Amino acid sequence: MVKMRNISINKSDRAPVSRQRVEYVERKGIGHPDSLIDGIVDATSHALSREYLDKCDSTILHHNVDKGLIIGGASKATFGYGKITKKIEVIVTGRATDRYKGVRIDVNEIAREVATKYLKENTRYLDVKNEVTFVSKIAKGSADLTDLFVRGKGKDVPLANDTSFGIGFAPLTDTERLVLETERYLNGNSYKHSMPSVGEDIKVMGLRNGNEITLTIAIAFVAKLVKNLDQYISYKERIRKDVSRFAEKLVGKEVAVHINAADPEDGDAVYLTKTGLSCEAGDDGSVGRGNRVNGLITPFRPMSLEAAAGKNPVSHIGKIYNILATEIAKDIVDQYPSILECNLAIMSQIGKRIDQPLNLNIDIATERGANFDNAKGKARYIANQRLEQIGDFTIDISLGKYKTF
């Protein structure tokens, strides 16, 4: 039988974002330094989880590797040529259990191996061996949080490691879908095959003003694949047209598209890089400064400032509740089409079971004439069901089935 929990459900007193006059949406692509370091630390958490499961009685031990930096290097890039003159530095830190019943877990070596592998798999023109240095300074966890983690072991449901909250919403607006899918389109294998000069460092900013949408896109071009200024300009125009067609097909309307808007008219200092990454020449990255768990930065929506990437998937609310809130909101709007918008927040209390949040708050906006009581009952049932199944959910997170950026 499903337990009843402290769930509050409210009828939204504001217009859904899709019906507001103005909307801003941003996505930092997979090669943006903030996304790269998010990806590295989250992959490190996945690797540590697998190592713990393999060597520590099938148990994921305490770890939070949610601190990290990419310190940009220096480079020279001009048409047809690029060179790194100062290496990029990757620093990973945080806390992790390094011993269990006499077994040593080399957490820092795991982090270095993961960082190397991640960069090789997610960049094409970065010489990871010769152009990047790695530093891992993961230390032993604090006694109180480690003890709290241990107290949660063996129980059917872990204990929350923090008093914090997670935020989620659904559905995505047209602008949100467009920003998200445009970056995925430009960084997809098919587009990279047709336009290899397009680097992985892509940032998409969307503005909707009334019914008009404008996309401003920054793309780090790969210098050795661009012969001269004329070719650079022609590539920009081709990408602009490609994105315009893609956008019109996705949202059913004409969209204004601007590529590398900072390029000067005389062609001096256009956006060329050796690697297709801005971090080669001074742009730094930090965990948690980029996309939220749904892959977007949405200032017109409620958001959590938690850095979900790298946090442990067993008890760390900053990861679990942000992903869970997003999934519950999706479930609610999928199963009740009359709901125009669902905003959801979940608050934990440190030391309490993660399936028993201090509060779960749901705001829903429905179509005019829709039965709010029916929607309310459906939303409560879905939230309770998700919390009831949170053990399986955290396992899926540990296996990397949910994105954190």
Q: What CATH number should be reported for the domain holding residue 74?
A: 3.30.300.10
Query: Of the candidates 65, 86, 64, which has an alpha carbon nearest to the alpha carbon of residue 75?
Result: 86
Please state which of the ranges 11-15, 129-133, 181-185 shows the lowest mean pLDDT.
11-15
Specify the pTM.
0.94
* Residue where a domain terminates, one of 112, 147, 182: 147
The percent of residues in the chain predicted with pLDDT above 90, rounded, is 87
Is 47 part of any domain?
yes
Is 235 part of any domain?
yes
Please state which of the ranges 10-14, 145-149, 373-377, 383-387 shows the lowest mean pLDDT.
145-149
The percent of residues in the chain predicted with pLDDT above 70, rounded, is 95
* Residue where a domain terminates, one of 286, 321, 354: 286
**Cα separation of the two ends of the chain:** 35
Is 358 part of any domain?
no
Is 55 part of any domain?
yes
Provide the pLDDT for residue 154: 54
Q: Are residues 269 and 200 in the same domain?
A: yes
Q: What is the CATH number of the domain that holds 258?
A: 3.30.300.340
Residue 68, pLDDT above cutoff 70: yes
Provide the pLDDT for residue 150: 59
Domain count, the chain: 2
Q: How many CB atoms lie within 10 A of CB 206?
A: 27
Residue 140, pLDDT above cutoff 50: yes
Q: Are residues 113 and 72 in the same domain?
A: yes
* Domain extent for 228: 174-286
Is 349 part of any domain?
no
Q: Are residues 143 and 182 in the same domain?
A: no
Provide the pLDDT for residue 1: 46
* Distance separating alpha carbons of residues 343 and 360, to the nearest angstrom: 11
Is 105 part of any domain?
yes
Provide the pLDDT for residue 156: 75
* Distance separating alpha carbons of residues 309 and 317, to the nearest angstrom: 12
Is 16 part of any domain?
no
Is 363 part of any domain?
no
Residue 148, pLDDT above cutoff 70: no
Q: Which long-range contacts (CB under 8 A, 24 or more apart) does 248-252 make?
A: 250/174, 250/177, 250/178, 250/181, 251/174, 251/177, 251/178, 251/213
Q: Are residues 130 and 37 in the same domain?
A: yes
75-89: burial string, b at 16+ Cβ within 10 Å, e else: bebebeebebeeebb
Q: How does pLDDT run across 196-237, given as a tens digit for each residue? A: 999 999 999 999 999 999 999 999 999 999 999 999 999 999
* Residue where a domain terminates, one of 147, 182, 209: 147
